[in-house]
């Protein structure tokens, strides 16, 4: 069974068929999903989904796009949401210098603040980093963690090794299956088995052969298949180790 470590089923693109789709996960070989918060409302919605479906867990946090709207009251609410028994991480948090929807200094401040919140709460972090590798690494190095994920990894082999040395897991999504993937296939080969995770980032970035369509957790198998091919092992082996890794990281019994 497959564990999708990062999805956004609270997204409006699932409004017409969310329940039907989620009820089909077991028959499609998906055992667990972590639904990820990107702002306060989606964090609340993630908790509600986790309450409604026993195989879904929640992460709560504010994406760098919305860092400009954060205050200490935001941190207080994230802390309250984190008390829920099915909240397993703080995320997604981080830096996005591609869109720069929030000033970079503001992104950095609230990324660091949420890192410290996660450490205080004894929770792992789920990190988004786009065109911001140097600053992401600097903030990660400045903070202690109780485990963490560099989600939808898109960087170099060299950067991956730095994150791995700091204790992070590397999670692969649809882009590892793309024909124009450059460094990702090489990264997928070198990540140790106990640090490897898979995800969909649904509804975004559907893997081949569904690229360009709405993504969902039923397509996480394609990510597992590609990584298995790259590493020369079975898809079942990748499914097992990534599921075991996710359960250990998120403290899911």
SS3 content of the chain, % helix, strand, coil (to 5): 50, 20, 35
CA distance 200 to 222: 10
Give me the mean pLDDT over the 131-156 stretch: 98
Give me the mean pLDDT over the 48-72 stretch: 98
Quickly state the pLDDT bin for 78 (edges 50, 70, 90): very high
pLDDT tens, 80-111?
999 999 999 999 999 999 999 999 999 999 99
More confident: 52 or 253: 52
What SS3 state is found at 156? coil
**Among candidates 5, 53, 60, which has minimal Cα distance to 33?**
5
User: Can the peptide bond before residue 203 be classed as cis, meaning omega within 30 degrees of 0?
Assistant: yes
Give me the mean pLDDT over the 131-136 stretch: 98
* pLDDT computed for residue 200 by the predictor: 98
Tell me how far CA of residue 112 lies from CA of 90, 115, 205, 222, in angstroms. Answer: 12, 5, 27, 34
Rounded mean pLDDT of the chain?
A: 98
> Which fold would CATH assign to domain 2-249?
TIM Barrel (3.20.20)
Q: What is the CA radius of gyration of the chain?
A: 17
Task: Report the Cα–Cα distance between both ends of the chain, in Å, rounded.
Answer: 15
CA dihedral 203, 205, 208, 210 (to 10 degrees): 40
Give me the mean pLDDT over the 178-192 stretch: 96
Instruction: Delimit the domains of the chain by residue range.
Output: 2-249
Quickly state the pLDDT bin for 157 (edges 50, 70, 90): very high
Quickly state the pLDDT bin for 40 (edges 50, 70, 90): very high
Tell me how far CA of residue 133 lies from CA of 96, 127, 158, 163, in angstroms. Answer: 10, 11, 11, 10
Q: Model pTM? A: 0.98
* pLDDT computed for residue 60 by the predictor: 99
What SS3 state is found at 232? coil
CA distance 36 to 39: 9
Give me the mean pLDDT over the 211-222 stretch: 98
* pLDDT computed for residue 108 by the predictor: 98
* pLDDT computed for residue 28 by the predictor: 98
Q: ∠ at Cα 84 (69, 247), nearest 5°? A: 105
Quickly state the pLDDT bin for 176 (edges 50, 70, 90): very high
* pLDDT computed for residue 42 by the predictor: 98
Residue % of the chain over a pLDDT of 90: 99
* pLDDT computed for residue 139 by the predictor: 98
């Amino acid at each position: 069974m497959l564990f999708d470590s990062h999805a956004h089923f609270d997204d409006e693109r699932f409004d017409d068929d969310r329940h039907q789709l989620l009820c089909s996960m077991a028959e499609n070989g998906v055992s667990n999903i972590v639904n990820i918060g990107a702002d306060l409302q989606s964090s609340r919605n993630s908790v509600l989904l986790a309450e409604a479906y026993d195989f879904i867990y929640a992460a709560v946090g504010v994406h760098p796009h919305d860092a400009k709207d954060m205050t200490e009251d935001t941190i207080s609410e994230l802390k309250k949401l984190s008390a829920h028994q099915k909240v397993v991480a703080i995320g997604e948090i981080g830096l996005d210098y591609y869109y720069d929807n929030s000033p970079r200094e503001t992104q950095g401040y609230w990324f660091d603040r949420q890192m410290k919140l996660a450490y205080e709460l004894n929770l792992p972090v789920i990190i988004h980093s786009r065109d911001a590798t140097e600053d992401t690494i600097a903030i990660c190095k400045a903070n202690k963690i109780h485990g963490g994920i560099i989600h939808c990894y898109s960087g170099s082999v060299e950067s991956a090794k730095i994150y791995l040395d700091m204790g992070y897991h590397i999670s692969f999504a649809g882009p590892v299956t793309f024909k124009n993937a450059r460094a990702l296939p090489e990264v997928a080969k070198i990540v140790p088995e106990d640090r490897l995770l898979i995800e969909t980032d649904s509804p975004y970035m559907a893997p081949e052969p569904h690229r360009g369509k709405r993504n969902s957790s039923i397509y996480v198998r394609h990510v597992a298949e590609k990584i298995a091919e790259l590493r020369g092992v079975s898809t079942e082996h990748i499914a097992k180790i990534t599921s075991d890794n996710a359960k250990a990281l998120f403290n899911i019994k």
